[in-house]
Amino acid sequence: MRIDGKGLIDRRKPISFRFDGQRYDGFAGDTLASALLANDIRLMGRSFKYHRPRGVLTAGSEEPNALVTTGLGPAQEPNVRATTLELYEGLMARSQNRWPSLGFDLMAVNDLAAPFLGAGFYYKTFMWPKAFWEKIYEPVIRNAAGLGALSGEANSDKYEKAFAHCDLLVIGAGPAGLWAAMEGARAGLDVILCDEDTQPGGRLNAETETVGGMAGAEWAASVVAELRAMGNVRIMTRTAVIGAYDGGTYGALERLAPEVAQRPGAARECFWRITAGQAVLAAGAIERPVAFRNNDRPGIMTAGAVRAYLNRWNVTAGRNIAVYGNTDEAHRSVRDLQAAGLHVSALIDARPHATCDLDVPFFAGAEVSNAEGRQALEAVEIRTAKGVEKIRAECLAMSGGWNPNVHLTCHMGGRPVWDRDIAAFVPQPGAVPGLHVAGAARGVFDTAGCLADGRRAARAALEALGRKAAEVDLPEAETARYDIWPVWAVPGKGRAWLDFQNDVTVKDVRQAAVENFRSVEHMKRYTTQGMATDQGKNSNVAALAVLADATGRGIPETGTTTFRPPFVPVSIAALGAGAQGKGFAPQRFTTSHDASVARGAPMIEAGLWYRPSYFPQAGETHWRQSCDREVQMVRRAVGVSDVSTLGKIDIQGPDAGAFLDMVYTGMFSTLKEGRVRYGLMLREDGYVMDDGTTARMGADHYVMTTTTAAAGQVMRHLDFVHQCLCPQMDVRFISVTEQWAQFAVAGPKARDLLTELLGADQVDLPFMGCGAVRIDEIDARLFRISFSGEAGYEIAVPARYGAALFERLCEMAEARDGGPYGMEALNVLRIEKGFITHAEIHGRVTAKDIGMGGMVSAKKDCVGKPMAARPGLSEDLREELVGLRPLGEIKELPAGAHLFDEGAEAMAENDQGYVTSSCYSPSCESVLALGFLKNGRARHGERVRLVDHLRGVDTICEVQDPVQFDADGGRMRD
């Protein structure tokens, strides 16, 4: 219910929302959890396994119980913590893991079956029959257990990712963090201050403390205002730093405020990668629940949460409240509750030596042994030395002490250290380079201590940055003693919950120990403790304390499991922000792209490039019709194809020739100016890396082409060879792939076409010649090279003219019964000629394998030459490039099929080779293939069996020379 008070809600701004279809009202500043409590709703969810009724336990991001689903359809988001979900007008939230309703959940029968469903029950119960596991047991269990569900639709929300840089990152804006930021900012640093809450202040927003003569929350607001005004501080609220990474890099998840996230173009979340010179971790601490029988009843909360709801949101989960704790925090709770006019029915202090000066029924050295009420707490049983007493309470504020948030200090392998004095783990100093821990995250639990510790951490960061600290006076704040009497689990019958979210009880952990899962890592996996969305924030330390007890070891010897990022759940959508649709990968478009699309060409991806598959004409209903026509068009008339996507590298310098000699198997330093040579590039291990042509444009000037696929790899390789192997060479190179739009013009009428375009004198090039030409006053380059086996040229113009030249070339080709051709035809043309692509030079073939052993010059060294000569790469029985033609009825020779001797069984031991490329050749009127066959060059004319197990093809084909059309190459040269 809502009570009077001066919280941080804005009562002038009412907000209506829906929970499970019912309309409720809250105020601006509320979370869904505080608004539900204000509306007397304590039951907010059902547990993972037993479907136990659950209420809100905490007031922060560690919340294990109050998880809801928001949004509908593609915008549906499961497992949203009601404790961090800001209320906004129109919010619709639904409870999870219940059917048909939250109040009446049929699956709650699981709770009655609890004796059979303890730790490891899957492993023990569903052993046989084996076949039942996948089809029956697993689906049934998955259906019965779990939290929220995904919609199954693609997420429609926008997510962002962004980078930020600062001198000092402060993680957490409680007193320690605020003061660390102040010290850093006053010293002139660029500061980023992150806090996962909507309002900076940390516990100051939840307590009734005085700092600097003001209410804590007011003081926090004044510090924030001062920091904002300084200009060198960036305050990022709603931003949880989720991981610490190498080199001062931190990951952070920002949830945008609902009113911002709803604007057009806005992201819902932003994933930040923050690079910081130094960082201060002031992430605070999380209060521990105590395990006792039925400690999961709605209405039982951590004491800090009870105070936060009371002081910040002015709500309470009941009028009668019992308080149970093992530090002075319990007394603080009583004071706050009584000051708000609420009735505290009992103060149960576990410390036998505790005294009390408050007007409240007080039980020292006592414990809560049971809770009554099913869907809501009704009473608690208090066990003292004198016996058991039952006391009415609708709400129990419990505190088992505080666990410092050491998580980020463990992300680079650090292990937290047990501190006996506070019965908690504290960070291992120096565990993350450049990260200084301050305040409650280091076990300093009073405000004055936190402020001083924030100063200390900031000054350590300043020193590391070589900067001078500024003189700033620390404000006055309250000091407090932290006197704890460790209580983990109250002895007794029944189930006492440790991990609320994964339904793990004290008994489950003890059972694990009995079954010899004594390591904390084994216990975790056996019981699933700590494996839900809260990652054990509420339960890890208590669970390992119970395990330590059960195994007769101490807590430090038992140790913790590994803390890994993220600190709070991060949706995959945020991590992969921007990668949906067009953001998945950049797209590269050629200058002829629009013209190709206008001609109806389906565009296919070639790396990041898009290239036309074929250019359909009226009446063509199948790609093969278009492809066959385009092949015949090139063979009979003339075709035009955009080859701009091939890598082009401009190479200049006195040592350009010597450099090419080093990277190519062939000799390029002797290539004549105005000539082009085919080159084969090897990896240092002797296998083929790439191929292409290189033209010598001048004495010290070459232009290399690479395949489309390997352009990036070749550039990296050239840089490697130059910088790491031959730095003495005076050579410079740069990519000119994008500078030139280049088009192949191929076919018997190619020369005629180019004569019209350029004039006869400019076209007069020998086969494998090149030169500068001019088209309409534009400087262009002409190469007489062919990848089709026809008389062919490639003409290159500065890319700005690419679109226009492509149109003109198409018009000129069409006037000669030719036209553009696409990738399909290009592929057929080259298979007919036995020209290789990366289908053949796939990383496991040598120059000799593809019949180019003779191209490895004997006169010089080159990359890959020494290793190409090693035994195994040079012997005769390797698989060699061959052509294949079908002989039998079946005319398919699919790429990927394997080759066997005729009559041999089609099994791995008999494998003789495989098919790499295949097409229907209109020129040969046959299906053709290229492939590799053991000792293939000596086997031309042989019959081999071809089997494709995947596609069910089994046929006989004849081994041929890879060049199956125009064997002497006369068409190219004439």
Which residues inside 753-782 make contact with another protein, applying CB under 8 A? 775-776, 778
Q: How far is CA 264 from CA 157, 268, 581, 846, in A?
A: 11, 11, 18, 56
Of 565 and 712, the one with the shorter C-beta distance to another protein is 712
Given the rule CB under 8 A, which of 19-27, 162-170, 340-348, 357-365 is the region that contacts another protein? Answer: 162-170
| 425: Cα separation from own chain's centroid | 30
Under a CB-based contact definition with an 8 Å cutoff, are residues 120 and 505 in contact?
Answer: no
Question: Between 138 and 730, whose beta carbon lies closer to another protein?
Answer: 730
Which residues between 64 and 83 bind another protein (CB under 8 A)?
Answer: none
The token pair that represents 938 in the structure block:
């000596």
Q: Applying CB under 8 A, which part among 210-218, 459-467, 650-658, 895-903 lies near another protein?
A: 650-658
Q: Could you tell me the smallest distance in angstroms from the CB atom of residue 590 to another protein?
A: 7
Residue from the set 725, 772, 938, 967 that interacts with another protein by CB under 8 A: 725
464 versus 736: smaller Cβ distance to another protein:
736
* CB closer to another protein, 237 vs 375: 237
Convert 540-577 to b/e letters by CB count within 10 Å (16 or more is b): bbbbbbbbbbbbeeebeebbbbebebbbbbbbebbbeb
Question: Coil, strand or helix: which one is 612?
Answer: strand
d(CA 670, CA 379): 97
**Residues 236-265 close enough to bind another protein by CB under 8 A:** 245-249, 256-257, 259-260, 263-265
Rounded (10°) CA dihedral 661, 662, 666, 667: 20
Q: Is 587 in the site for another protein (CB under 8 A)?
A: yes
463 binds another protein (CB under 8 A): no
Residue 783 CB, shortest distance to another protein, in Å, is: 17
- Nearest approach, Cβ of 808 to another protein (angstroms)? 4
CA distance 405 to 425: 9
Q: Does 162 bind another protein (CB under 8 A)?
A: yes
Of 274 and 785, nearer to another protein (C-beta) is: 274
Q: Which of 367, 369, 346 is nearest to 358 (CA)?
A: 346
* CA atoms within a 13 Å half-sphere pointing along the CA-CB vector of 55: 30
Comparison of 730 and 974: residue with beta carbon closer to another protein: 730
Tokens of 534: 């809260």
Closest distance of CB 637 from another protein, Å: 18
- Comparison of 701 and 891: residue with beta carbon closer to another protein: 701
Q: How far is the CB of 816 from another protein (least distance, A)?
A: 14
Three-class DSSP labels, 106-168? HHHHHHHCHHHCCCCHHHHHCCCCCCHHHHHHHHHHHHHCCCCCCCCCCCCCCEEEEEEEEEE
Cα(634)–Cα(789) distance, rounded to whole angstroms?
10
CA distances 568 to 77, 161, 571, Å, are: 15, 17, 10
Site for another protein in 731-750 (CB under 8 A): 732-740
Footprint (CB under 8 A) of another protein, residues 425-454: 433
* Of 155 and 652, CB closest to another protein: 652
Among 421, 521, 719, 817, binds another protein (CB under 8 A): 719
Element spanning 228, H or E: helix 216-230
Q: Is 90 exposed, middle or buried (0-12, 13-18, 19+ CB in 10 A)?
A: exposed
The DSSP output letter for 510 is H
**Residues in 190-209 at the binding interface with another protein, rule: CB under 8 A:** 190
- For the CB of residue 589, give the shortest distance to another protein in the complex, in Å: 5
Distances (CA, A) of 966 to 320, 559, 736, 788, 972: 98, 76, 33, 11, 9
First to last CA, the chain: 95
What's the min distance (Å) between Cβ of 786 and another protein? Answer: 24
Return d(Cα 145, Cα 512) in angstroms, integer. Answer: 21
Q: What is the DSSP letter of 558?
A: H
- 230 vs 514 by CB, closer to another protein: 230
Considering the rule CB under 8 A, would residue 622 count as an interface residue with another protein? no
Cα–Cα dist 188/605, whole Å: 51
- If binding is defined by CB under 8 A, does position 807 make contact with another protein? yes
Per-residue binder mask for another protein (CB under 8 A), 5-44, x = binder: ----------------------------------------
Residue/partner pairs of 34-38 with CB below 8 Å, 24 or more apart: 34/9, 34/59, 34/309, 34/312, 34/313, 34/315, 35/87, 36/66, 36/82, 37/1, 37/309, 37/313, 37/315, 37/316, 37/317, 38/1, 38/2, 38/313, 38/315
Q: How far apart are CA 50 and CA 114, in angstroms?
A: 7
Q: How far is the CB of 686 from another protein (least distance, A)?
A: 9
HSE at residue 458, side-chain half, CA atoms within 13 A, is 35
Residues 856-915 that bind another protein (CB under 8 A): 861, 865-867, 870
If one asks whether residue 673 binds another protein (CB under 8 A), the answer comes out as no
Choice between 142 and 263, CB closer to another protein: 263
Q: Report in angstroms how near the CB of residue 805 gets to another protein at its nearest.
A: 6
Instruction: Compose the 106-135 pattern: x for residues touching another protein by CB under 8 A, - for all others.
Output: ------------------------------
Residues 478-507 contacting another protein, CB under 8 A = none
Q: What is the largest CA-CA distance in the chain?
A: 116
Binding residue (CB under 8 A) for another protein from 99, 137, 362, 720? 720
476 versus 730: smaller Cβ distance to another protein = 730
Assess contact for 509 and 547: CB atoms under 8 A. yes
CA–CA–CA angle 107, 108, 110 (5° rounding): 80
Length of the chain: 974
The one among 6, 23, 124, 165 contacting another protein by CB under 8 A: 165
Q: Please identify, among the stretches 311-319, 326-334, 339-347, 715-723, the one whose residues bind another protein according to the rule CB under 8 A.
A: 715-723
Q: Which stretch binds another protein (CB under 8 A): 299-307, 534-542, 561-569, 581-589?
A: 581-589
Residue 605 binds another protein (CB under 8 A): no
The interface region with another protein, picked from 23-31, 480-488, 630-638, 793-801 by CB under 8 A, is 793-801
As measured in angstroms, the least distance from the Cβ of 586 to another protein is 4
H-run or E-run covering 525: helix 520-527
| Beta strand ranges found along 500-612 (DSSP E) | 504-505, 588-589, 603-606, 609-612
**Which residue number, 369 or 590, has a Cβ lying nearer to another protein?**
590
Among positions 730, 876, 901, 905, the unique one binding another protein when judged by CB under 8 A:
730
Q: Which of 25, 378, 684, 954 binds another protein (CB under 8 A)?
A: 684
* Nearest distance in Å: CB 167, another protein: 9
Count of residues that interact with another protein, criterion CB under 8 A: 85
Dump strand ranges (E) for 599-707. 603-606, 609-612, 639-642, 647-652, 676-682, 688-698, 701-706
Contact region for another protein (CB under 8 A) — 377-385, 387-395, 439-447, 585-593? 585-593
Q: According to the binding rule CB under 8 A, does residue 653 interact with another protein?
A: yes
Which residue of 20, 801, 838, 958 would you call a contact of another protein, by CB under 8 A? 801
List of residues 6+ apart from 516 with CB closer than 8 A: none
Strand partners, 769: 675
Task: Return the number of other C-beta atoms located less than 10 Å from residue 212's C-beta.
Answer: 16
Per CB under 8 A, 799 contacts another protein: yes
Taking the complex as a whole, the smallest distance from the CB of residue 295 to another protein amounts, in Å, to 41
The full DSSP string for 186-214 is HTT--EEEE-SSSSTTGGGGTS--EETTE
Question: Would you count residue 565 as binding another protein (CB under 8 A)?
Answer: no
* Binding window for another protein (CB under 8 A); candidates: 13-21, 461-469, 668-676, 712-720: 712-720
Q: Segment near another protein (CB under 8 A), from 34-42, 527-535, 791-799, 959-967? A: 791-799
